[in-house]
Homo-oligomer: A and B are copies of this chain.
């Protein structure tokens, strides 16, 4: 029981500057503490929720790392995102009262469970919380637009460069290095997310390494030349203007 429902407080959480509590005053945060039913542990490889599951709650990642993916009728699937501490999972479930994607832990993880009916109730009382919920959903929409841009109009090198910069930037916001990281996902998962095959991901990593832009050793990646990476992202055509 203790393992699967641990009472915690947003007000004392070290993610409060990144997670739901952002911008709430102490009184509002206390209400939020009452909302959070419990935490839930998810083992590496296990699903927090799967496509088709009934929707009841949103989840705030407390520790660990997730991927979300959608699946077609014929079995192919597409990774739609990777989520780390402080990020919110489950927004897809609201429309149809069931989840349309699956969330799988890529390493042992822990999430805070936010029963959605209670969150709505509390949002009606506190306009700051209400607006914050709206912002979180809008942020997800904007993020998705960015992924569409990436998938629809970037070449392999640009996609991987954008992916690495995005990842390291989010890790940095959580206190990790600005230039080093250990990837939590396989080449195949990166490929699925970026719309390319695992071999292409691997080759592109190698090319970046040969060019002295990054250092790669399996899951470990170090960015040596962030500017070069940035230049790759927003400079498609190989002309020199």
Interface residues of A (CB under 8 A from B): 70, 72-74, 76-80, 91-96, 100-101, 120-121, 123-125, 127, 130-131, 133-135, 137-142, 144-149, 151-153, 192-195, 234-236
Asked if B152 and A193 make an inter-chain contact with CB atoms under 8 angstroms apart, the answer reads yes
Which residues of chain B are near A74, meaning CB under 8 Å? 234-236
> Least Cβ distance of A91 to chain B in Å?
5
> Which single residue of chain B is at the shortest CB-CB distance from A138?
B94
The copy count of this chain in the complex is 2
- Specify the main secondary structure of chain A where it touches its partner: helix
Asked if B100 and A142 make an inter-chain contact with CB atoms under 8 angstroms apart, the answer reads yes
Which residues of chain B are near A147, meaning CB under 8 Å? 144, 148
Which residues of chain B are near A192, meaning CB under 8 Å? 152-153
A127's partner among B91, B120, B142 (CB-CB below 8 A) is B120
> Least Cβ distance of A120 to chain B in Å?
6
A137's partner among B101, B141, B151 (CB-CB below 8 A) is B141
